[in-house]
Amino acid sequence: MSESGLLVEVVSPDQLELSTTVDSIVIPASLGEMEVLPGHIPLLTMAKPGVLVVRRDGEDHHYAISAGFVEVLPDRVTVLVDAAEDEDEIDIERAKAALMRAEDRLASVETQDVEQRFAFESALERARARIAVWQHRQQHSDHDD
Ligand code: ATP
């Protein structure tokens, strides 16, 4: 078991989105944010749409992820998701449009239509995560200037 780093792999149906060794990772797990350090006990959990943060050499890198599955082992974390985007990949206008669409749909969905409500809430969370990652990128660039 390596205590020196954690191999993180984020995999979508399209491709291997990320494969890197990090100091720690913060995952938007279904039961709340979960920070994982090297040496963590093995576990399986669900990811919900949100912001995944990997920390390397004191720097944070943010990714918007959609729902998926997470396997934690002492020396590696594998995240299987429908979609993942890093800070440079986000199309902010698309994310804002998706947010507005999801808000409109949620406002008019029948209360008892649980499946539709869940789908619209998930779309809302994906859009919010993309906007949050994009905003972090903007703040970071401002800071660099
Ligand atoms: P939309 O309604 O705009 O399609 P969505 O949340 O339904 O948003 P997804 O089904 O999660 O979209 O993603 C489909 C594909 O589009 C994935 O490859 C995802 O990475 C990409 N994608 C979705 N929204 C954005 C965005 N705002 N910026 C960049 N890529 C995006």
pLDDT at res. 141: 79
Residues 9-34: b if buried by 16+ CB within 10 A, e if exposed: ebbbeeeebbeeebebbbbbbeeeeb
pLDDT at res. 142: 62
User: Does any ligand 1 atom lie closer than 6 A to the CB of residue 83?
Assistant: yes
Q: Which of 15, 51, 86, 94 to mutate to test the pocket of ligand 1 (most atoms within 8 A of CB)?
A: 94
pTM of the model: 0.93
> Cα 16–20–23 angle (5° rounding)?
140
No. of helices (H) and no. of strands (E), the chain: 2, 10
> For residues 125 and 49, is the Cβ–Cβ distance under 8 A?
yes
The one-digit pLDDT tens for each residue of the chain (145 residues) are 445 799 999 999 989 999 999 999 999 999 899 999 999 999 999 999 999 999 999 999 999 999 999 999 999 999 999 999 999 999 999 999 999 999 999 999 887 889 999 999 999 999 999 999 999 989 877 655 4
Q: Which of 125, 130, 134 to mutate to test the pocket of ligand 1 (most atoms within 8 A of CB)?
A: 130
The residue whose C-alpha atom lies closest to atom 18 belonging to ligand 1 is: 83
User: Does any ligand 1 atom lie closer than 6 A to the CB of residue 126?
Assistant: yes
